[in-house]
Structure formats: C-alpha cells, structure tokens
C-alpha cells in the first residue's frame, strides 16, 4: 500500500501541475474581451470555451507515468488494478461529473447537458489512455498540410501545424461553423451581425499573434538562429500561416473584414512575440503578453474590420502596409536578438 500511495501522490502532483496550464485561458484575448464586453450575453461563447477546454481536461491521469516505467515497477497485480481504479479520481472533472450525476438523478433535469459533458470526458479519457503520448496521433493527421510555393514552404507548413495544436483555433472553428450553419439555414440576420461574428472568430485566436514562437521550442529557436534567412522571412512565414487560417475561417462570414482584423492582430502581435517570447503549451489556449495590449489589439481589430466592412476592401491596403512594416521592423529586432544573445 505504501508503494501505491507513493505513486498516487506523485501522480496527483504531476497532474495538478499540468492542470495549472489551463489557467492560460485567463490571459487569452477571447476570454477576457468576451467576459468584459458580452457579460451575460456571452453564455454561448462560454459554452464553446467550456466544450473546447473539457476535451483536453478529460485526460487519463495515469498517462502521466510513462508506460515503460509503469511496467518496470515491481507492483503486484492487485496494486495495478487499484491504481487503475483510483487514478481517474485524481482528475477533478471526474468528481464534478459524479456530483452532477447525483444532482441530476435527484432533480431529473439537465440530463442532456450532463450526457454531453460525460460523453466528451469519456472520449478524452479513453483516447488519452489508449494512445500513448509518444504516438502523437494529432501529428500524423497534420501530415496532410498542403505544400506552398517558395523556399519558406516547410516553415509555413510547420507554423500551420503549430496553430492546429492550440485550443484557440478550435474555439474559432466552432464559432465559424455555428455561424455558417446558421447562415446556411437562411435565418434572417442584419449584415452587421456577420461583421461582429467575424471579429469574434479572429479575436478567438488573436492571442496567438502575440506568441508566434511559443511552440517552436528551444530546438526550433536555435535552428532559426542557424538558418541563413532574414528575420522578416521568419516572421512572414508565421504571418502567412496565421492569415491562411483567418481566410479559411472567415470565408463564409466577412472575409475581407476578417483579413483586415488578422493583419492588425499581427501588426500589434509581432512586438511581444519577438521582444518577450513566451513558451506556450500544446492543446491549451494561447496566453497574450498583457491585458492592455490584448484590449488594444481587439479594439483596433474591430475598427479595421468595421472600416473594411462599411467603407470597402481598399482599407486592406493600409492594414497590409502596417503589417508589412511591423514584419520588417521586428524581423530586424529578431536578427539583433540572435546576434546579441
């Protein structure tokens, strides 16, 4: 029993540390802007954030121990079974679901929502325990990312794959899909509503523009220093991936307004991405540099999108110029950083 207690104790510690990384949502533009501006009307947005968060939170705590290490430990069969039975209860989501199920049984309501939550939890839990961390199933799916012309092709593909492993993108995707389905059902909405939804979609992953190097890791950053390319080219490859995702997500909504908002997000995001690079964690929300910058980014994004929506696509020109200038300037800063480290 002492062995089991030691393992469960270590497991709980490791799991708690991992769960702390979900706090990254607090520094995310989408979360705090919607919390401030939408308040009660933002319930739909919170449901989306909750659903997106629930999946990675539903992992099996036992996977924190490498399978080879677990197999090597001299545990009795009984102890292994006990560990299997006890470890799910380290995850607080298990307790929440158990409590809600008790409450549901007594009140007889909300069974649908509970079922949805429990279903997502079960899927996340089973997937995480069936597929070892080393297998990285997501990465094999990203192999199909298309090729692009030019020498920066592989860098753009890599940047797209990095974006595909952040929760921001899936939040934006859910929003975009919901709005697209709504539009497809031909329900009447004022044209301005599409502008608002477009801004929300871009806002959902705008924090990523502030931490463009967050998922490159130490190895990736030292490779950037070794490659004989200009700083602006490295940033341009990042921007290309960001803009491509924006265009795809806002295509059924207001694509020009979306592109303008994305260009502004990038123009303002380069500074913190280059000067204060922050490491990000996969399958979590991106964390922005500061609330003030996040608000500024959101306001200017909304202004640019509105200007394009109401005055015409030519407003994209100054947006593109601002983004290009920022790419060039912070590309130089990037090179200076490489030289002085």
Partner 1 sequence: MISCRNLTRRFGEFTAVDGLTLDVGAGAICAFLGPNGAGKSTTLKMLTGLLAPSSGEVHVCGLDVRERPREVKRQIGVLPEDLGLFDDLTVEEHLLLTGRIYGLERDETRSRAGQLLRVLSLEDGRHTFAASCSHGMRKKTAFAMALMPNPRVLFLDEPFEAIDPVTSKIMRDLLEAGARRGLTIFFTSHILSVVESIAAQLVMISKGKIVWNSPAGELPQSLEQHYFDLVESPAVEELEWLGWPRS
Residue ranges binding partner 1 (CB under 8 A)? 134-136, 139-140, 142-143, 150-155, 157-158, 161-162, 165, 215-220, 222-223, 225-230, 335, 338-341
Q: Is the separation of the CB atoms in 178 and 160 below 8 Å?
A: no
Using the minimum distance from each CB to partner 1, give the nearer residue, 108 or 151. 151
By beta-carbon proximity to partner 1, the closer residue of 20 and 143 is: 143
Structure token digits, residue 270 = 């380069």
Give 134 or 190: the residue with its C-beta nearer to partner 1. Answer: 134
Q: How far is the CB of 277 from partner 1 (least distance, A)?
A: 15
Distances 233 to 216, 238, 239 between C-alpha atoms, Å: 16, 9, 10
Min CB(299)–partner 1 separation in Å: 32
Tokens of 260: 């303008």
Question: Measured from the CB atom, is 241 or 254 closer to partner 1?
Answer: 241
In this complex, which beta carbon is closest to partner 1, that of residue 195 or of residue 215? Answer: 215
CB of 230 to partner 1, least distance (A): 8
Q: CB under 8 Å, gap of 24 or more: what pairs does 288-295 form? A: 288/27, 288/28, 288/29, 288/207, 288/210, 288/211, 289/210, 289/211, 291/27, 291/32, 293/210, 293/268, 294/27, 294/29, 294/32, 294/33, 294/206, 294/207, 294/210, 295/33
What ranges in 108-230 are assigned the alpha helix state H?
A: 111-130, 137-142, 153-164, 167-184, 191-204, 217-226
The answer to whether 334 and 221 have CB atoms below 8 angstroms apart is no
Do you know the residue count of the chain? 341
Question: What minimum distance in Å lies between the beta carbon of 146 and partner 1?
Answer: 13
> At closest approach, how far in Å is the CB of 229 from partner 1?
6
Spatial CA neighbour of 313 closest among 266, 264, 234, 259: 259
Nearest distance in Å: CB 141, partner 1: 11
Q: Which is nearer to partner 1, 66 or 150 (CB)?
A: 150
Least Å from the CB of residue 341 to partner 1? 6
* Residue closer to partner 1, measured from CB, 151 or 191: 151
């Amino acid at each position: 029993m002492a062995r089991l207690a030691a393992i469960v104790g270590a497991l709980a510690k490791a799991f708690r540390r991992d769960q702390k990384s979900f706090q990254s949502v607090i520094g995310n533009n989408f979360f705090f802007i919607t919390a401030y501006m939408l308040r009660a009307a933002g319930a739909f947005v919170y449901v989306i954030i909750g659903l997106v968060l629930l999946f990675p939170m539903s992992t099996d705590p036992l996977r924190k121990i490498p399978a080879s290490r677990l197999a090597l430990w001299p545990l009795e069969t009984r102890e292994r079974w006990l560990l299997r039975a006890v470890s799910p209860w380290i995850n607080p989501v298990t307790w929440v679901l158990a409590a809600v199920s008790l409450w549901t049984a007594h009140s007889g309501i909300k069974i649908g929502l509970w079922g949805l939550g429990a279903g997502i939890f079960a899927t996340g839990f089973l997937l995480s325990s069936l597929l070892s961390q080393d297998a990285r199933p997501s990465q094999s799916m990203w192999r199909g990312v298309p090729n692009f012309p030019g020498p920066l092709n592989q860098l753009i593909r890599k940047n797209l794959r990095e974006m595909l492993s952040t929760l921001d993108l899936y939040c934006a995707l859910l929003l975009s899909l919901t709005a697209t389905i709504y539009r497809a059902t031909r329900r009447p909405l004022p044209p301005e509503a599409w502008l608002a939804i477009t801004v929300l979609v871009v806002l959902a992953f705008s924090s990523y523009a502030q931490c463009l190097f967050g998922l490159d890791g130490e190895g990736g950053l030292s490779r950037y220093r070794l490659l004989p390319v200009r700083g602006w080219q490295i940033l341009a490859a990042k921007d290309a991936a960001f803009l491509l995702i924006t265009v795809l997500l806002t295509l059924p909504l207001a694509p020009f307004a979306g592109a303008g908002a994305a260009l502004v997000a990038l123009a303002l995001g380069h500074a913190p991405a280059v000067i204060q690079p922050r490491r990000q964690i996969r399958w979590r929300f991106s964390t922005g540099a500061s609330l003030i910058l996040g608000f500024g980014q959101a306001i200017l994004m909304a202004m640019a999108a509105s200007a394009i929506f109401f005055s015409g696509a030519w407003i994209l020109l100054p947006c593109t110029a601002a983004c290009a200038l920022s790419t060039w300037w912070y590309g130089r800063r990037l090179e200076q950083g490489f030289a002085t480290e």
